[in-house]
Amino acid sequence: MPELKVCVSMFGVENLFDDHPIGFIEAAKLADQAGMYQVNFTDHVTMGENTGDYPYGKFPLPPEAP
């Protein structure tokens, strides 16, 4: 049986849990309960001012956002 893996956007988890870090733990627990072998949390470390070429649609935050 293949090992099931999931990749979760940190931005999405932050929105679901009002920016509280417990959201990452809860998401990992849910993935574990669903039989996932690996959970990856991804995010951008830095973004430039030009987000017009963002490949996934309109970038969700303005360049000046923290």
The domain limits of the chain are: 5-42
| Residues contacting 13, CB < 8 A, separation 6+ | 23, 24, 27, 41
pTM for the model stands at 0.57
Q: What's the pLDDT tens digit per position in 10-62?
A: 776 777 777 778 888 888 898 899 998 888 887 766 677 777 777 777 877 77
How far is the C-alpha of 41 from the C-alpha of 7, rounded, in Å?
Answer: 6
Q: Give the per-residue pLDDT at 62.
A: 76
User: H-helix or E-strand containing 13?
Assistant: helix 10-16
DSSP class of residue 2 equals P
Residue with tokens 């649609």: 57
Q: Give the per-residue pLDDT at 4.
A: 82
> Within 10 Å of residue 47's Cβ, how many Cβ atoms?
12
